[in-house]
Structure 1
Amino acid sequence: MKRLFTNIGWLLGGRGINAVLSLVYLALATRTLGLEMFGHFAAIVALGSAVTGIANFQTWQFIVRWGANGDSEGATQLREATGFAIALDLMSMAMGTVIAALLVWSAPYWLPLPDDLLPLTFAYCVISLLAIRTTPTGLLRLNFKYAQATAAEAVQPFIRAGGALLAFFFMPNVTGFILAYAASEIAVATALWIAAARTERIDLTALSLKRIPALHADAWRFVWSTNMSGSLTIAGKQVVVLLVGTFGGAALLGGFRVASQLGQALVALAQTISKAILPELVHAREDALVIARRMANVALIGGVIAVLAAVLFGREALDLIAGSEFRGRGFYWAMVILAIAGALELVGASLESLLVSAGRAGTAFLVRAVPTLLALVMLDAAIGWNGAIGAAFTVLGSSAFAVIGFYVAILNLQQIRITLDPAAAASEEPDEKANAPTNRR
């Protein structure tokens, strides 16, 4: 637990820097572009994030799972796990480029984007795919190098804030701010790969999509389960933002994006906790359930505090950062509702990580998939009912049902304990056999 909280401290420190600087570039973008043009900017960013989330495999989980569980030749297995992860990253880039091309080509039919911004949109999607960085992140987390990871990830908000400042003075339009975002994506990916290469030797000759599946029969099932679960977690939120623009227009999209970024900061915190806790659950199998419970309790307290802060200070924060143009239309209450959803995600992060570490990635995906799909189906009606507030309620409902599902899925604690520690199952069988004659007598 001490190491876990230390690692979370490093991650939260990085998130703290990111949060402060994100307010800087968010304020610059909203006040420079205005409500509708910021909606165009938000649509491009959301589309890039959605494409990356859909195509990206959660390769950091593969490295933690198979790199940590090696036998006496653990270094060889880590090398092969890294090669498998990089090969999957390359596959993600290829698939993502095709997906991006299709989405951008069809964008005029469903997304409020001017035609002159479509080439920029496709270019940003491709850059986001090239900047996929889950593999170096996994290598750093496997070795508990959270300080190095935090230092590398801090490059992104600094570059983004600096680029937004340059755009404010020299290119005060959507293109200028997108260029700032694109530069930050490339910079942080480069920094993480450099940090990972200093920790572990990157052997490109180990690239293979066959070696790890040959050693682990459930490899591809785990790969696709974590990919789909990650896609729902990351891309699902971005798809909601995009569909808000589809059903409500660019202005509603821009306001909802601001409310989402402020209110859903807790979702990023939930992802931070899950990324820190998964390596601990894999390494400390016998204590996984205890760790997950403690983290859920800590998360509950933090979530309540954050929601209260959103209620008390959210309106002033929205006015200060985004300006008077973003006041009204329910954006404040949407932000509060999204903050509650973020608090629920914060509690559910450790529960979801417990399922994944127990080899239940498929279960975690199903628990996440059903509420997300229901939210997307109901989004149009929700926006028609109450605009941004209605859209926020769909996100809240999705998060609530997902967390309840995670809790129900781990109720069978005995079964999860045996899955986490197969030796426990073996140790129980001899005891039963030994007791059998006694019982008969």
Structure 2
Amino acid sequence: MTITPFARAMRNAGYLLGGNGIGAVLGFLTTVFAARQLGLQGYGILLLINSFTGALATATRLQTWQPMLQFGTALYEAEDRPRFQTLLRHCLLLDGAGALAAVMIGVPMSIVGSHYLGWGGHEKTTALYVTCALFMNTGATIGVMRITDRYRMAVIADNLSALIRFTGAIAGYCLHWNLTFFLVFWYASIVVAFLADGALLWRLTRLIPSLRGFRLTGVPWRSHQTGFWKLLLPTSADQALINVASRIDILIVGAVLGGAGATLYRVATQVSDALMQPAVFLSPALYPEFVRLREQQDWANLRKMTWRICRLLSAFSVPILLIMYFAGPAILALMLGKHISHTRELLLWMTTASIIGLWSVPLEPLLISLGRAKTVLHGRLWFLLPCLPLFYVLTRRYGVEGAAIVVFIRSTAIFMTRLVPFLTMPETRRP
């Protein structure tokens, strides 16, 4: 029986959810033990250092899985081995170049900016930790896994990373470790995840006909796919803005409110996002289906699938808000190891912002697959950067809740820049 694109997307999202569900539970428990051992201030410094490194990695990272998926799908299905391998080689080299740039920029910045970014006294430790950005770029490998429908394999590295961090948190809690030992385990988790993805790619070169005989040092190394950079640059800039913004938010909160404030903000974000994960995993599962429907010019099924997902996400949002209203403060207190008053409003602002961002889950892959990557990028630029001064001002004035209000405003504005093009594009407009 032929599986429909919607059913295949839901199945693959289920694989991601099932695999990452383990990682989410381990991440929750890691926070519980690490926050108790290091305290709100110490755990906040760990988050600031990790967020700084992640911001650098994402700022210099090119989303190579996008051209790998958008152009590689047709090459893979046509079994065009030379062009498919050239595309992969090009994307892998770009992954490495971005990682190297992150370290070259990050090491001096971590020392010079330590006083302003909230980890004064830990300059050398941070400079060493920043070098783990060398192991954070695996976009090309992820693209190959999605093209070949290996979604079960895609979660292995993340789960290994979560397991190592959890092991480190347990050991640190039992042995009363300081911040440095926790950072060693965080560093190791990133390296192990990178090695796992590399081993999986090596395994695929033995299983997939289009990858047999692949060599990284082979020639040619540069892909000449039409539209390669036109797709890669705006999608990379958009994802960099998403990831950098979330980390800059934490850095701003840490600079204004200290490590304890950064911990409260980060854990509140973690709690508000946790219940969204089943729907969030739809996004990576949708890209291959939208690409296939685009190649077939099956606009009717494209519209039908998108509207169906939108209705599903809208229904999913209602119980999330109710759960957060009644149980959110208790979950937050459990993770932090102490009760903090007036957190319900904070969690509701953060959860509502997450829900609005969730509604973009089918829209962004659709617009990018239909050649509107610049529309996605511009929509984020218009509101993300101008909101940074407002984020700083309201954080100083109202604390963590002020920061959450800005996140809500920003999410709403960005969502509208996706919804309007979706409703007006000829391919997606209802007949």
TM-score, structure 2 as length reference: 0.90
Q: Over aligned residue pairs, what C-alpha RMSD do you find?
A: 2.0
Structure 1 pair 370–266 and aligned structure 2 pair: CA distance change class (3 A) = farther
2:359 maps to amino acid: V
Specify which of 284, 298, 304 is matched with residue 290 of structure 1: 304
> Which residue in the other structure is 2:317 paired with?
303
Which one is further off, 190-199 or 25-34? 190-199
Q: Distance in 2 between matches of 1:289 and 1:83?
A: 34
> Which residue in the other structure is 1:274 paired with?
283
1:112 and 2:127 are equivalent in the alignment: no
2:254/2:261 contact within 8 Å kept: yes
Specify which of 340, 348, 353 is matched with residue 327 of structure 1: 340
Which one is further off, 131-140 or 298-307? 298-307
> Which residue in the other structure is 2:423 paired with?
411
1:18 maps to amino acid: G
Deviation at 1:223, TM superposition (A): 1.4
Return 5+ residue gaps in structure 2 as ranges: 1-5, 206-210
Which one is further off, 104-113 or 339-348? 104-113
2:117/2:255 contact within 8 Å kept: yes
Indicate the SS of the match to 2:23. helix
> Over residues 253-281 of structure 1, what are the superposed CA-to-partner deviations in whole Å (9 max), with x where a residue is unaligned?
12111112212336765652211111111
Which one is further off, 164-173 or 55-64? 164-173
Which one is further off, 27-36 or 306-315? 306-315
Which one is further off, 407-416 or 368-377? 407-416
2:409 maps to amino acid: G
Deviation at 1:332, TM superposition (A): 4.1
User: 5 Å matches for 1:88-237?
Assistant: 88-115=94-121, 117-170=122-175, 172-200=177-205, 201=211, 202-206=214-218, 211-212=222-223, 214-216=224-226, 218-237=227-246
> Over residues 57-80 of structure 1, what are the superposed CA-to-partner deviations in whole Å (9 max), with x where a residue is unaligned?
111112111111238453322212
Specify which of 58, 67, 78 is matched with residue 72 of structure 2: 67
Greater helix fraction, Structure 1 or Structure 2: 1
Q: Distance in 2 between matches of 1:374 and 1:267?
A: 27
Deviation at 1:293, TM superposition (A): 2.2
1:266/1:339 contact within 8 Å kept: no
> Which residue in the other structure is 2:269 paired with?
260
Which one is further off, 286-295 or 84-93? 286-295
Structure 1 pair 413–184 and aligned structure 2 pair: CA distance change class (3 A) = same
Which one is further off, 120-129 or 71-80? 71-80
Q: Distance in 2 between matches of 1:397 and 1:259?
A: 17
1:345/1:399 contact within 8 Å kept: yes
Q: Distance in 2 between matches of 1:327 and 1:97?
A: 37
> Over residues 377-430 of structure 1, what are the superposed CA-to-partner deviations in whole Å (9 max), with x where a residue is unaligned?
20121112311001011111111111111001222231568xxxxxxxxxxxxx
> Over residues 221-256 of structure 1, what are the superposed CA-to-partner deviations in whole Å (9 max), with x where a residue is unaligned?
211101100101111111111111122222211211
Aligned residue pair count = 411
2:321/2:351 contact within 8 Å kept: yes
User: 5 Å matches for 1:365-380?
Assistant: 365-380=377-392
Q: Distance in 2 between matches of 1:275 and 1:234?
A: 16
Which one is further off, 302-311 or 355-364? 302-311
Q: Distance in 1 between matches of 2:54 and 2:278?
A: 17
Q: Which protein has the larger Cα radius of gyration, Structure 1 or Structure 2?
A: 1
Structure 1 pair 226–266 and aligned structure 2 pair: CA distance change class (3 A) = farther
Q: Distance in 1 between matches of 2:183 and 2:157?
A: 21
> Which residue in the other structure is 1:393 paired with?
405
Structure 1 pair 208–123 and aligned structure 2 pair: CA distance change class (3 A) = farther
Return 5+ residue gaps in structure 1 as ranges: 418-441
Structure 1 pair 90–2 and aligned structure 2 pair: CA distance change class (3 A) = same
TM-score, structure 1 as length reference: 0.88
Q: Distance in 2 between matches of 1:126 and 1:298?
A: 42
Indicate the SS of the match to 1:56. coil
